[in-house]
Structure 1
Amino acid sequence: MRNIKANFWVVLIAIFGSMLYVHTHDFGYSGDDGIYSHFNRVTKEGLDNWQELFEYGSMNFIQINPVNSSIYRPLTLLTFGLENELAGGFSAPIGHRVNIVLYALVLMVIGWLLVRLVQIRNLPIWLALMILLLYAVHPIHSEVVASVKSRDTLLCSLFAFSAILIWVNSGPKPKVFQQIIVAVFFFLSLISKEESIPLMALVAAISYFFFQKSLKDSIFSVAPFLIPVVTYMGIRAVVLDEAITIYNSMINSILYGTTPGELLATNFYIYIQYIKLLFFPHPLSWDYSFSQFTVQSFANPLVWFSVLFFGGLLFVAYKGFKTRNLFSFGIIFYIATFSIFANLSRALIIGSNLGERFQFIPSLAFCFLICYGLFKLSDRFSTFKKPLFIGVVLLPIVLAFSWKTVDRAKVWESNLTLSASGVKTSPKSWRTHMFYGDELRQRGSNVLRSYPDSAKMYFAEAVKELDKGYEIIAGKVGVSQFLGSLAESYLGLGDSTKAISILERSTIENPNSSFAFIKLGYVELARKNVPRAEEWFIKGLKAPNPDYFGLYKALGTLYDRENENLRAIAAFKKALEYSDDREVKRALGFLYFQEGDEKTAKTYFPEDEDIDMDEVRFIKDLKLANLAFKKENYQESVVLYASILDRFEEYGGSEKYPKFYGAYGESLIETGDTIQSKNYLLKAYDLNPIEPVICMNLGVISFFHDKDYNEAARYFKESIDAGIGDLYSAWVNLGSSQIVAGKEADAVESFEKALEIKPTVLAVKNLYLLNKNLGNQEQAKYYLSLLQPSTVTQ
């Protein structure tokens, strides 16, 4: 009856602890979730190639920098593949719900284990429940439960503590079949995540402190757990390659490159930070990179405090060991389970300064020590008051921890919320600023077409954050992977010159990444510098470890735009050698159709796609019209655009071809059809009000045709804000509009801007006349003096 009641409370606490995360049930992916799910080559295929998960290291399947070393967690990845298979695709909410359930199960198993242990030592069951409650609500677990990727920690803990629970319930002398079950469960924990290895020390400690075995017998009792560990390590040795050094730098851990004294001092500094977070879990952060933490020396008093603190813990553990004091047990439990993350030697540096997830198991030892300490402290009170005393002390802590857990879990809703929280909780970390900047850049790109003003705000903030990240790292180590994000942000702001400069720097600092080569090519293509674009794509193919698919696809796109069909076909076919891409196949289908080979064209169009050959003809005609426009054959482009106008909406309209109206309108204005031109330019403007050429053309029409000078000035100003290439002409046009509109003071400012760009007679003459009319005699004399042939250009 007593056990039934205890089990009821264990389940109730487990449900309560897991419900603190119930609001995460519909969150998206964030942090490193993608490397186990939608960015994972095997798991995103469901169970089609599940056996590969056991044949290679778990980092071998990620899309960015895959390596067959470091970690081996096939069972965790298998659960993601299974989830994908059963759900018909990855779904972040499903992943979060799985984590909530797993956390509840982990709490139940730990609760039952605690109940059994206190029973063995004749301690009250409510003590076990107090420990479980404090553990269940501790905010330091929020990263593990709220991050889908941390399913590995939950699975590892579930199987490991289940193995220990089965072993404890088997008694001091478990039978062979019980030991086999224990070994199987512990092996499952290891292939979920290797951090359960130190729990062998917990098993030995339970034997010694609870089963009262001798030290020698306690060590031998670990056998059912040691066998799967040896098996697991053997498999790792066969499967994994030698660890590479790509991450062995300050960007991941400040311990790399330290002297022995600095290594020791910095470790002790980090250890005490973990203890601080256990007692006072605020602020919590997903990242603690340089320079949130920096290399320490023994000149820091906090380092000495940490030395004394942990020295005191070891002394207490030693003093209580012979008497089997449970304080000694709790300390050994904590130190043993934390040891795997303690960076004890250079060979064991884990590549992270501090991680809250690393305290998921050690924090159980912390909760044990706190509650057992309160239990011993309550000895001064009568027996019946002990639970009440501990409850009164723990209640405000449990409430505060519960609130903090709920609040902290909110930041894992998305990458944007997570990275935004990082710059607040770890403002000195280079990584938090870089990741937040990249998320802002992505958000800007997503809203660019619909909300251009908002997009610019995102891009501007992205540049600020990315620059801050580079300022923190300050050349100490390369993080050139973020140069692409910085360049994209400048492109979003319309500063292609700055973007190109950054991308060129990236090709030097990070030649293994093809992104910069591809992006530079597309930027030059947008600037109509086709030879330069082609040069960048070819340079990318010659760089180390090129992205052959992306580069050949880019070359195919370039040749396609230039109507060099045969070269485009050759490039796209090369791209297909590296990836069976649907988009490339469609492009080949259209190209072969344009070459008159409809039979071959149909073999490239996707089989599950019903191709409308009339649409293919429309696209062919549109391409010819765009090509004529590009070559400035405006009479021809007007005829071709007009011929497909009646089919335009049928085959996607402006949503699919957003530049159609702008090109048609510009062609019309070039052929003198101003009225028709304005109609189509206004349609283009409604679709994208930040397209500088459209704004400029509308300004010209308003000025010369409509005589609406205020509207003309507005359009010219918008073309400048949108990053018009010919800024000089834009400022001159704006100034001219302001003169005619009677805004001479504003016109002065506009012509001064034009003069800064290009010192011309036109700009100086206007400034002379404007200042003379405004009564600015000194300025007028100054500009009159500039009207010398050697001073300004015609």
Structure 2
Amino acid sequence: MKLKPIFWILLISFLGAALYFQTYNYGYSGDDGIYAYFNRVTQKGLEEWTELFKYGSMNFISINPVNTSIYRPFTLLTFAIEYQIFGEFNASNGHILNVILYFGLLLILGKFLLILSEKKNLPVFVPLLILALYAVHPIHTEVVASVKSRDTLLASLFAFSAILLWVSSESKVKMLKQIGIGILFFLSLISKEETITFLALVFLIAYFFQNKTVVQSAKEVLPFLIPVILYMVFRGLVLDKAATTYDSKINSILYGLSGGERLATNLYIYLQYLKLLIFPHPLSWDYSFSQIDVQTFQNPIVWLSLLTFGVLIYFAVKGFKKRSLFSFGILFYLATFSIFANLTNSLTIGSNLGERFMFIPSLAFSFLVVYGLYRLLTYYKIEKSSLVTLLVLVPSLLAFSWKTVDRSPVWKNGLALSSSGVETAPKSWRTHVMYAEELRLEAAKLKKTSPDSAKDYFALSVVHFDKAYEILGKDAPVSQYLAPLAEVLLGVGDTTRAKLVLEESIKKQPNVYFSKFKLAAVSYEEGDFEKARKFYLESLKADKPDLYATYKNLGLTYMRLNEKENAISSLEKAVEIQDDPELKRNLAYLYTEIGDLEKAESYQSDDDDFSVEETAFLIALRAGNDAFENKNFALAAAEYGKVESAFEEFGGSEKYPSYYAAYGKSLLETRDTLAAKARFLKAYQSDPSNSVVLTNLGTISFLKDKNYANAEKYFRAAVEAGHEDQFSALNNLGTALIVQRKEKEAIEVYEKALQYGTSKSVLSNLYLLNKAVGNEDRMNFYQEQLQKISNQ
């Protein structure tokens, strides 16, 4: 049984969509964020959906919002609905929806092509093969595999649905259908404005397929014209006025061109589009300067393009009166491409060339290829023309299908997309700068978990930022990328160059926040807190500062400068903007430092390990330690005294083993010997082998208590504990032995001391001790040693 055409349309549509099934688990890439996760309204679901219709579609992006350029509220509404349904943005949902939309569009196109073919009595294989060639064409991968390009899919689906509704009417279109057509076409326009060219397509269909006169064909446009007028009125009311041409060749290579150069460059670009339709390799997501550069008529390719389009226009005009379908196909292509053709300065778009711009014109291309083959076979009266046509097209269909499957993974994520760009468009400044940006973002993610890997990404990012600026030249008007360049330079440790880049960025963009903020951060890391404060204060006055981050860092800078009141003021401003437990700890600490414990406790969290009382204890303890190190023993003793009552509560000697020793030393230096002894004894209880404590206890026993036996015990223990100054330790022990008339022991200790050093007093003591015990030889020896010292 012969299968109905609808079966083949379904099969082709399914196979065309199936080429993109692999995209279901892809992430976001390119400009996806503008419509989804970088969009302040769609991020809220349907909470503020009416705002999408009140402003331009670029008014809601997080970075550099403007109420100009485009008005695509319905597309944004679908993203808001997506968020409302799923509760968050997930790129998989967007990719799956794109595949479904593409499938639906192919179904509509199949039915549409079938109706057109029937009106011209073309065999059914012609519309089916047109649909097949269109369905698998690799030039569509940017639209189907990019979540953001839902706008093109929606616009195409609604527009062709409107045309299908119109063209399927057997007689005069009834009012109800006209309303349906108007609604569908209006939805198309508020999804993406490029289908405005379908006014010409409707005219061409009426003229070439419905055999209407020019005037009658023009009248058929009316149901489509009314939505266009409404759209233009709404667009005019909503959008702000803006320049219609781009102010730099980095956005459009046609900027500033006129006459021959403009025409030559356009012709060159037009031929590139045809080349990609016929031989779609290599494909790239970007063709910015200088992948495509200014052309002149000295380039043979420009002349080839002029000849090609001259011939096409010739045949289009020649075949118009005869209602030739070749003329229809050519005019279909030219009409739907015209909106992207940069025909005048006022119609210049912000892209030199874009594969997405061929999404609709490629249908005209597919029509011309298949219809051309059919007519060729008919002319030569080839039997089984359907089979022959299929056999001729099979290599292209297979090659295109393979290329589509191979190309789709480029849209897997931002890094995959940008890295492909530097391979397929190596002369484009934008491919390099976007790849550098993606590498920077990836490095930032890796920095905390894998610093070495992050450094490799930072290094490669520097290479591509430098390549982008090399392509642009030193006077490049893209200073917004200087701060990210500085960031990756810091990532590879090139602080010197990073600072120069940040300073250049500030010079070119004095009101830009990030560069000042980053230079402040660099200064902070280098310990130049005065400079850090200066730039943090300046960054607060810049455009759109991140108040939380700036006040936070400024507060920490004031802490380093010991400006406690300013630190408190800045950190409290940061906490007002964003609740931050760490900053609250800092505030509790600062208030504790200035003695406002009640305020400090207000910033203390029940779940926090931070304790105001313990912090107050630590502050006083630190103050005591600082004073001790500076030999301000009176202040040290006072500060140590403040914490003594809470000492055991917060860890005691186990946690702070040097406290009692330092406290005792401070008291001893201030002549409070009795109090000093009490602290030294506590230190001794905690650590009986502390030679410094033992020495001080020995000194107090010797000088204050006159308890020489105790002094001997402590001094001997200090020696055995390995006192770092063994000479002094042995000298002290020897002195304690002398006063106890332990001459022989004293002689042994002093002679041992001579192994670590010498002094006149030690030699004198040895002389007298040996004399006392009647050892004349040793007495004479030490007398000679004393004489040598005296003669020196």
- Taking the aligned partners of 2:294 and 2:7, their CA distance within structure 1 comes to 49
Which residue type is aligned with residue 358 of structure 1?
Answer: F
Residues 705-746 of structure 1: per-residue CA shift (max 9 Å, x gap) = xxxxxxxxxxxxxxxxxxxxxxxxxxxxxxxxxxxxxxxxxx
**Counterpart contact for 1:448–1:455, Cα < 8 Å:** yes
Which residue does the alignment assign to 2:331?
Answer: 332
- Paired residues in the alignment total 636
Retained in 2: the 8 A contact 1:160–1:185?
yes
Q: Is the 8 A contact 1:420 1:436 kept in 2?
A: yes
Residue 34 of structure 2 corresponds to residue 35 of structure 1: yes
Distance 1:570 1:247, change over 3 A: farther
Residue in structure 2 matching 1:587, options 583, 589, 594: 583
Residue pair 1:466, 1:486 contacting (<8 A) in 2 also: yes
Q: Following the alignment from structure 1 to structure 2, what is the Cα–Cα distance between the partners of residues 644 and 144?
A: 66
Specify whether residues 611 and 350 from structure 1 end up closer, same or farther in structure 2 by C-alpha distance, changes over 3 A only. farther
1:175-231 per-position Cα deviation (integer Å, ceiling 9, x unaligned):
011000000000000110000100111011110111111001101111111101100
Give the structure 2 partner of residue 160 of structure 1: 159
Q: Is the 2:555–2:566 contact (alpha carbons within 8 Å) kept by the matching residues of 1?
A: yes
Aligned to 1:368: 367
Pairwise CA distance, 1:271: 0.4
**Residue 352 of structure 2 corresponds to residue 353 of structure 1:** yes
What's the counterpart of residue 765 of structure 1?
A: none
CA distance in 2, matches of 1:118, 1:219: 22
- Post-superposition CA distance 1:365-394 (Å, at most 9, x none): 000000000010111455751111110011
Give the 3-state SS of the residue equivalent to 1:595 in structure 2: helix
- Given residue 302 of structure 2, which amino acid in structure 1 is its aligned partner? V
Among residues 608, 612, 615, which one is paired with 2:607 in the alignment? 612
Give matches, 1:220-231, under 5 Å: 220-231=219-230
Q: State the one-letter code of the partner of 2:169.
A: S
Deviation at 1:454, TM superposition (A): 2.2
- For 2:73 and 2:95, how far apart are their aligned partners in 1? 20
1:676-726 CA-partner distances (Å, limit 9, x unpaired): xxxxxxxxxxxxxxxxxxxxxxxxxxxxxxxxxxxxxxxxxxxxxxxxxxx
Conserved? CA contact 2:529–2:560, under 8 Å: no
CA contact (8 A) 1:143 1:356 kept: yes
- Structural mapping, 1:265-664, within 5 Å: 265-380=264-379, 385-543=384-542, 546-548=545-547, 550-559=549-558, 564=563, 566-572=565-571, 574=573, 580-583=577-580, 587-588=583-584, 591=587, 595=591, 612-615=607-610
Q: Partners in 1 of 2:243 and 2:358 — Cα distance?
A: 26
1:581 Cα deviation from its structure 2 partner: 3.3
CA separation of 1:552/1:393 partners in 2, compared to 1, >3 Å: closer, same or farther?
same
3-state SS in 2 of match to 1:204: helix
Partner of 1:664: none
Which range moved further: 60-69 or 378-387?
378-387
Equivalent residue number for residue 169 of structure 1 = 168
Change over 3 Å in CA distance of 1:46–1:374 after alignment to 2: same
Structure 1 594/407 Cα, relative in aligned 2: closer, same or farther at 3 Å?
Answer: same
* Cα offset, 1:511, TM superposition: 2.7
5 Å-filtered alignment, 1:170-185, equals 170-185=169-184
Which residue identity does 1:450 align to in structure 2? T
Look up the equivalent residue of 1:581 and give its one-letter code: Q
Residue 22 of structure 2 corresponds to which residue in structure 1? 23
* Aligned partners of 1:594 and 1:620 also within 8 Å: no
| Gap runs ≥5 in structure 1 | 649-794
CA contact (8 A) 1:586 1:604 kept: no
Indicate how the Cα distance of structure 1 residues 204 and 540 shifts in structure 2: closer, same or farther if over 3 A, else same: same
What is the deviation of 1:543?
3.9
Q: Which moved more, 1:75-84 or 1:509-518?
A: 509-518
- Compared CA separation, residues 632 and 12, structure 1 to 2 (3 A): farther
Deviation at 1:559, TM superposition (A): 3.4
Q: Specify the code of the residue in structure 1 equivalent to 2:609.
A: D
Distance 2:403 2:602 in 1: 59
Distance 1:512 1:105, change over 3 A: farther
* 1:238–1:625 Cα change, 3 Å: farther
- What is the CA deviation profile of residues 314-373 of structure 1, one whole-angstrom value per residue up to 9, with x for unaligned ones? 110111111111001111100000000000101111010000000000000000000000
Question: How is 1:249-268 mapped onto 2 (pairs within 5 angstroms)?
Answer: 249-268=248-267
Please report how far the alpha carbon of residue 244 of structure 1 lies from its aligned counterpart in structure 2 after TM superposition.
Answer: 4.5
Q: Distance in 1 between matches of 2:21 and 2:193?
A: 28
Deviations along 1:8-63, one digit per CA (max 9) or x if unpaired, are: 11111111111101111101111111111111111111111111111110000111
The answer to whether the 8 Å contact 1:338/1:359 transfers is: yes
For residue 275 of structure 2, give the secondary structure of its aligned residue in structure 1: helix
Q: Indicate conservation of the 8 Å contact 1:518/1:554, yes or no.
A: no
Question: Residue 46 of structure 1 aligns with which residue?
Answer: 45
Measured after TM superposition, the shift of residue 614 of structure 1 is 3.2
1:568 Cα deviation (Å)?
3.8
Question: 1:593, 1:180 → 2: CA distance?
Answer: 70
**CA contact under 8 A between 2:244 and 2:347: conserved in structure 1?**
no
**Bigger Cα displacement from structure 2, 13-22 vs 475-484:** 475-484
Q: SS state of the match for residue 71, structure 2?
A: coil
Contact 1:484 1:506 (C-alpha < 8 Å) held by counterparts: yes
* Separation (CA, whole Å) in 2 of partners of 1:239 and 1:430: 33
Contact 2:17 2:102 in 1 (8 A): yes
**Counterpart AA for 2:578:** D
Taking the aligned partners of 2:621 and 2:194, their CA distance within structure 1 comes to 59
Which runs of no fewer than 5 residues in structure 2 stay unpaired?
Answer: 631-635, 637-642, 656-792
Measured after TM superposition, the shift of residue 582 of structure 1 is 4.2
Q: Cα distance, 1:267 vs. partner? A: 0.6
Match of 2:786 in 1: none
Q: Which has the larger radius of gyration?
A: 2
Matches within 5 A, 1:57-96: 57-96=56-95
Following TM superposition, by how much is the alpha carbon of 1:434 offset from its aligned partner in structure 2, in angstroms?
Answer: 1.0
Cα distance, 1:270 vs structure 2: 0.3
Name 1:697's counterpart in structure 2: none
Q: For residues 541 and 502 of structure 1, what CA distance do their matches in structure 2 show?
A: 20
1:455, CA displacement in angstroms? Answer: 2.2
C-alpha displacement of 1:155: 0.6
- Going from structure 1 to structure 2, the CA distance change for 1:62 and 1:378 (only over 3 Å counts) comes to same
RMSD, matched Cα: 3.3
- Take 1:381 and 1:420, find their aligned partners in 2: how far apart are those partners? 48
Q: Residues 634 and 70 of structure 1: is their aligned pair in 2 closer, same or farther, counting only changes over 3 Å?
A: farther
**In structure 1, what residue type is equivalent to 2:53?**
F
Q: For residues 552 and 370 of structure 1, do their structure 2 counterparts lie closer, same or farther at Cα, with a shift above 3 Å needed?
A: same
Counterpart secondary structure, 1:70: coil
Residue aligned with 2:527, SS:
coil
Mapped to 1, the partners of 2:172 and 2:559 lie a distance apart of 76
Worse-superposed segment, 117-126 or 153-162: 117-126
Amino acid at match of 2:144: V
- State the distance in 2 between where 1:279 and 1:202 align: 22
Alignment of 1:118-129 (within 5 A): 118-129=117-128
C-alpha spacing 1:112/1:532, structure 2 compared with 1 (3 Å): same
Contact 1:18 1:104 (C-alpha < 8 Å) held by counterparts: yes
Structure 1 residue 633: Cα displacement: 10
Q: TM-score, normalised by structure 1?
A: 0.75
- Judged with a 3 Å threshold, the aligned counterparts in structure 2 of structure 1 residues 160 and 301 are, in CA distance, closer, same or farther, namely same
Q: Distance in 2 between matches of 1:18 and 1:371?
A: 21
Aligned partners of 2:126 and 2:374 also within 8 Å:
yes
618 and 401 in structure 1: CA distance in 2 versus 1, 3 angstrom threshold: farther
Q: Distance in 2 between matches of 1:310 and 1:463?
A: 43
C-alpha distance in 2 between matches for 1:553 and 1:263: 52
Among the aligned pairs, what percent are the same residue?
Answer: 53
Change in CA separation of 1:625 and 1:81 when aligned onto 2, cut-off 3 Å: farther
Cα distance, 1:7 vs structure 2: 1.4
- Mapped to 2, the partners of 1:27 and 1:582 lie a distance apart of 34
